[in-house]
Chain A
Amino acid sequence: MTPALETKGLIKRFGGLVATDNVTFRLEQGARHALIGPNGAGKTTFINLLTGVIKPTTGQIILQGEDITGLRPELRVQRGLARTFQINQLFPAMTPLETLGLAVSERMGGGRDWWRVIGSKTAIVDEIVEIAQRFRLTDVLDERTSKLAYGKQRLLEIAVAFACRPRVLLLDEPAAGVPEAERHELLATVAALPRDVSVLLIEHDMDLVFSFADRISVLVNGALFTEGTVEEVSTDPKVRAVYLGESVDE
């Protein structure tokens, strides 16, 4: 089967610094794959390469069998590659309703519509309702995003990405900063993501990684250090040495 997302020999240099070092990586269809690594291992650069925020020095990125290396970020989203951000990137002055409406209508090509209001399309309305329920945002749809509780903002962050109806979803530390009380709700929705979406999870929190992922890749100094099942990686002494050993109490 074609992998959902694949990189071949991906290299990114900033001047003399090699931030991504020859990464060849496969994300299988429907996978729950975690990418871990110590601070400064190049996780953010890797994500930025995948989403097209920066261009690789050499190498290929392939989404569902299609080479997307040269595509602009928005075109990758339109082809089914969505992401969340480690620090919330929302529209503070808009409501969750507008945010979701925007994402859904953009996906349906409605962003070029100059004339009608969004609510006039039943398909859009229905999908907003469905996403709002999935991410438990129904009660707060009409609030201003900047006024939401942090946990809700975090849910919205994932909901927006989900509203792009991705084939591949990149989750960048989805639980970062969420208070304990709101954490459960968030993890439950993440766990309940439909299986036809392949997920790449970038995470520090080992509990979350172990409970969510079925495969783990370890990134060290910009290069793939090792890869395997949760069991293999968690028991690998080399990983413990370079990674777990450094951040025992995370």
Chain B
Amino acid sequence: MLRRTFVGAAAAMLALSGSALAQETLKVGLILPMTGPFASTGRQIEAAAKLYMQQKGDTVAGKKIQLIVKDDTGVADVTKRLAQELIVNDKISVMAGFGLTPLALAPAPLATQAKVPQVVMAAATATITEASPFIVRTSFTLPQATVPMAEWAAQNGIKKVVTLVSDYGPGIDAEKAFTGAFAGKGGQVENLRVPLANPDFSPFLQKVTDAKPDALFVFVPSGIGAQFMKQFVERGLDKSGVKLIGPGDVTDDDILNGMGDVALGAITTQHYSAAHDSPENKAFVEAFKRANPNMRPNFMAVGGYDGMHLIYEGLKKTNGQGGQALIDAMKGMSWTSPRGPISIDPQTRDIVQNIYVRKVERVNGELYNVEFATIANVKDPVKAAKSN
């Protein structure tokens, strides 16, 4: 017991020394999957974070910000080790990034122990922010993006839906959120789960064909969405009148344009589209494309961009101090992001944002998710339900 207190004290001192001693530079550890199957997530976030620093300068509250990028290769125990090293050796003020749910959960105990705020820029399982009081999120939660989809579907004459999700945390989250909300409105739902690593969707799509639903709700991690779309169309599901709906991952901006006409007409709900009509977004997209030719910012990028903003503004407020002060400063913060108005819920440390209903259309020769309806200020429904 005595030892435990000692460890706690040591960790606290460490966090203190991180801000008190290293006056000159404040270090931000950015841990991302830069190689492996989820590398594209890492690349988007890194590019956005660097863009933010390039735009806003690398000095905050009189101190220099140093970004340390580490590749966890998408492996959770590596994430944890890297986080630990960054905390212990580099004495970072904030850790950020975290491309997938397990990667965000693995270092959570460290955040608590060392009192280092952990800014989740990508992972989207609802429960993540409950893993540590030092976790704050600038991406989204799947239920947040999904429940509006269910409501929209119910209001627009869809009665029977088949859900098809990747079999892992976020997928199951999406399935539950949609099924709950849609069944609550009197709809009929059938669930299908596909393995996370899956080369061929055809057997699952065949099941969908056989079920003859009004709409197919789909969640697959961004990246394999394209494959899904193609097979959806190849199977003629679009022509047989099955609407494709889901959270925006499947029509990820990063690869949407490459999907071609097969993606046209897909209806998704999400917090960000590169086609979002606002001056902030136009500037963001343009700058992003200039800095990274051949890339279009997607919802991962905006999560990284806003994450950096949150870190900058938080540090400004605390005058460079980290730890508890920084996480407190981040709570309740609100600003206008490229995606629209957003804020950090002071209770849950999760993001509150508008969710947009979009449809894939061709704009100036390129495919975009064009927003046509807005549901304002959506909180994560899972945690909202708990607090009520």
Is there direct touching of A and B in the complex, by C-beta distance under 8 Å? no
By a beta-carbon cutoff of 8 Å, the part of chain B in contact with chain A is none
